[in-house]
Copies of this chain bind each other. A is one copy, B any other.
Amino acid sequence: MPVDVEARVIANTRLSPDYNVISLAAPAIAAAAAPGQFVMVKLGHGSTPLLRRPFSVFEVLRTGRTVNGLTLLSKRIGVTTQMLFDAVEGDVVSCLGPLGRPYATIDPPAEAWMVAGGVGLAPFATLAEALCARGTSVTLFYGARTGRELFYLDWFRERGVRLVLATEDGSLGDRGRVTQPLERELQAAAGRDLMVYACGPEPMLAAVARVAATYHRASQVSVERVMGCGLGGCYSCVIPVRQDPTGRHYVRSCIAGPVFAGADVVWE
């Protein structure tokens, strides 16, 4: 059951000229959120922006065992992300959640391979924590335009996550797309039990789903469609999924997703 919280901004850290991490006092949502779930946020009064925007829960903030809030990892591309970038302590962000179908975790000896493109890193902090807590071995394949846009590397290393990096300009890790090292390692991983998790731009998700299928691996991808409501009310966020061997069918990614089996999605 989602709740709507007028969450105070606890902190706002700029990671780069475009990325920031904002901490919000929304403990009720944070405590209930599962990895891959999202919140619908709205800033400001009046009608600019009019609609809420979806953001993955990035981190769950705790003091000891008490949950205090959550963070969002945001990339500045428009009006809401600009406001999230500019927000200061004490500002209020309206936060509705948690929403959507989360990633399904796996247990050892199966391994988790997470593939993140850009701001698609967001769901993997909580997923990594959930998986590590189960003792599952976790690898993060993480791609961005440049090394300066690869964030939280130490955060993942400290939790024992193996990192495989790729940048388009070659400034850190492999030069090129993150699916290249993914495919290379899949080739070498015959016989190991593993699940591929992905989040990032859709063409990346399509490539990950394809590569995973090629190597007969299951994948779970989190898609990013433009959402009007986040609750199944508007039918704006649909994505085509396979219905029978040949058919396809639009489903609402806010309630049937945002996480789908890579093999179920019809990539266009």
Which residues of A are interface residues toward B (Cβ below 8 A)?
44-49, 79
Contact = CB atoms under 8 A, between A and B. Distances in A.
Q: Which 6 A-B pairs have the closest CB atoms?
A: A46-B48, A47-B48, A48-B48, A46-B46, A45-B48, A47-B47
11 contacts: A44-B44, A44-B46, A45-B48, A46-B46, A46-B47, A46-B48, A46-B49, A46-B79, A47-B47, A47-B48, A48-B48
Contacts of A44: 44, 46
Given A45-B48, A47-B47, 5 more contacts: A44-B44, A44-B46, A46-B46, A46-B47, A47-B48
Copies in the complex: 2
Contacts of A48: 45-48
Nearest to A49: B46
A47 B49 CA distance: 9
A250 to B, nearest CB: 32
A198 B219 CA distance: 76
Contacts of A45: 48
Contacts of A49: 46
A156 B48 CA distance: 42
Contacts of A47: 46-48
A209 B44 CA distance: 44
A8 to B, nearest CB: 16
A227 to B, nearest CB: 20
A49 B48 CA distance: 10
A85 to B, nearest CB: 13
A3 to B, nearest CB: 26
A48 B45 CA distance: 8
